[in-house]
Amino acid sequence: MSETLQTANARDLERLHRMLRQVAGDDLGTLRRHLAARDEARVLDIACGECHEAEVLTDFAAELTGDPDGAVQLTGLDVRAREIANARKRFGRRRGPDNQRGKREFEFLSGDATKLKEHVGSDEDFDLVFLRHQNYWNGDSTWEKIFDQALERLGSDGRLIITSYFDKEHRLALEALQRLGGELLRTESNPETRALLTPGKSVDRHVAIFRRKDA
Ligand SMILES: C[S@@+](CC[C@H](N)C(=O)[O-])C[C@H]1O[C@@H](n2cnc3c(N)ncnc32)[C@H](O)[C@@H]1O
């Protein structure tokens, strides 16, 4: 990766972190209390690609535990085996304290998220489920299956967070998630989003947070 792209990605991730804090706002009191009483926070990143976002997501989850060095376990899943191999190379399967970032455990799985139960134990609930740059336009029925399973994996205080590259794709994803049983808590446009070459496409252009309506 060129240095310029590396720098751009690093800045995107700083902005994503700010957006996560903003969109979560004051909503997460219950989840914070729940996490403060637990040994570790559990995060599922669906369609994670190479999972550039892994450290931002685990830092954000650690903040919610009330301790920036709090323990966090992240499971990333993507259908593209090469991206997952790269994520494993970058983050390994770390256990124990890291000098800078507290106790983190990363696990990356290659598989189809429309069959999430086959890859991630069906009795496992997650505190946070992320879909960064969901791809609803690339196959609405596939992504509705993914959204449905993502909502299913949320614990009772858990939250689902999505980000989108495009305005219309974001709107369609919000509608689909609400049809499937998600309650939209907040959606925010990213004022610092980085424009990409395709007109109307930019990095983490919108960020939205949901809980399960039946929770
Ligand atoms: C736009 S990329 C986002 C990747 C990463 N989250 C990011 O923001 O850089 C969408 C990802 O969805 C993954 N994907 C598409 N269909 C999938 C499926 N059925 N199961 C798991 N991952 C899928 C693709 O392989 C791709 O990595």
Q: What is the pLDDT of residues 87-103, one digit of tens each?
A: 999 987 655 555 566 78
Residues in CB range of 41: below 8 A, 6 or more apart? 35, 61, 62, 64, 65, 70, 71, 72, 73, 127, 128
State if residue 28 touches ligand 1 by the CB under 6 angstroms criterion.
no
Binding site membership of 80 for ligand 1 (Cβ less than 6 Å): yes
Cβ–ligand 1 distance for 49 under 6 Å, the answer yes
Instruction: Report all structural domains of the chain as residue ranges with CATH numbers, in order of start.
Output: 3-129+153-166+182-212 (3.40.50)
Q: Which atom of ligand 1 is nearest to the CA of 49?
A: 27
| Residue 158 in contact with ligand 1 by CB distance below 6 A | no
110 CB within 6 A, ligand 1: no
* Strand-pair partners of 108: 76
Range among 64-78, 83-97, 188-202 rated most confident: 188-202
Q: Quick check: helix, strand or coil at residue 46? A: strand
> Tens of pLDDT along 5-57?
999 999 999 999 999 999 998 787 877 887 887 889 999 999 999 999 999 99
Ligand 1 proximity of 72 Cβ (cutoff 6 Å): no
Higher pLDDT, 122 or 189: 189
Q: Tell me how many degrees the CA angle 79-182-107 measures, rounded to the nearest 5.
A: 35
Cβ neighbours for 80, distance < 8 A, ≥ 6 positions apart:
49, 110
pLDDT at 75: 96
Closest ligand 1 atom to Cα of 52: 9
112 lines ligand 1 (CB under 6 A): yes
Distance between Cα 47 and ligand 1 center (Å): 4
CA distances in angstroms from 46 to 20, 56, 80, 95, 137, listed in the order given: 16, 15, 12, 21, 16
Angle of helix 81-91 relative to helix 54-64, nearest 10 degrees? 60
| Ligand 1 close to Cβ of residue 109 (< 6 A) | no
Q: State both tokens at 87.
A: 């994520």
Question: How much of the chain exceeds pLDDT 90, in percent?
Answer: 76
CA of 49 to the centre of ligand 1 (A): 5
pLDDT at 2: 76
Phi-psi label, residue 49: left if phi above 0, alpha if psi -120 to 50, beta otherwise: left
Nearest residue (CA) to ligand 1, atom 4: 49
pLDDT on residue 95: 53
| pLDDT reading at 156 higher than 70 | yes
